[in-house]
Amino acid sequence: MIEIIPAIDIIEGKCVRLTKGDYDTKKVYDDDPVEVAKQFEANGIRRLHVVDLDGAKSQHVVNYRVIERIADHTSLVIDFGGGIKTDEDLDIAFASGASLVTIGSIAVKNPALFDAWVERFSPQKVILGADVKNGLISISGWKEEASEKLMPFLKKHTEKGIENVLCTDISKDGMLEGPAIELYRDIMAEFPDMYLIASGGVSCIEDIQALNAAGIPAVVFGKAFYEGKITMEDLASFL
């Protein structure tokens, strides 16, 4: 059964969503991410993907206090990403209550540092962020396109022990037009032991059902829930 992971994206301490990572498309859904997290937990959710969008833009962790508050007021497993660029950022993330961290840009720009973090904290605590556009990895809050192609990028890191990968098709993100199921199928065919977390484009419960049928281990979604296109009742059979 596919693991259901709602996303909370944070700008200035508020729960927001963007479209295709464009900060100009910001829409605020709730002033208090902690209340949103508590609602998820009350309905059977066990894990949360939290993105510090201010951090991604600023190149350092910014909204760690929100992580602290979510950790203090829920028992959710928190996967945190956005702005983790230094040892200090990583220490702040874990100290604030994150159980796992998602790291993308550093894996591209400073793979030696990324490898050191994986060795220090274990592959179970570090998720490789693979944000992809036109088959290439995007970094720095999707503002910069790297020259690395997706599949070789994944191969390089899985050979070093990475087990968990969060893959976002940027062209799908926030569009509510359906996820890139063929892309995820291709990844699973190439890396059958990977714990792949699909992200981007989920628009309805049928999309999650299709990902489940395709054998994708987990899915992150946000906008479809906040826009009322997916309800907690819809998700009940997966929880």
User: Structure tokens of 17?
Assistant: 């969503």
Active site residue 22: no
Rounded (5°) CA angle 111-134-201: 100
User: Structure tokens of 34?
Assistant: 């902690």
- CA distances to 28, 149, 219 from 152, rounded to whole Å, are 37, 6, 22
For residues 2 and 196, what is the distance between their CA atoms, to the nearest angstrom? Answer: 10
Q: Among 79, 131, 169, 173, which one carries the catalytic annotation?
A: 131
Rounded (5°) CA angle 181-7-188: 30
Residue type at 108?
V
Active site residue 131: yes
Which residues are marked as active site? Answer: 9, 131
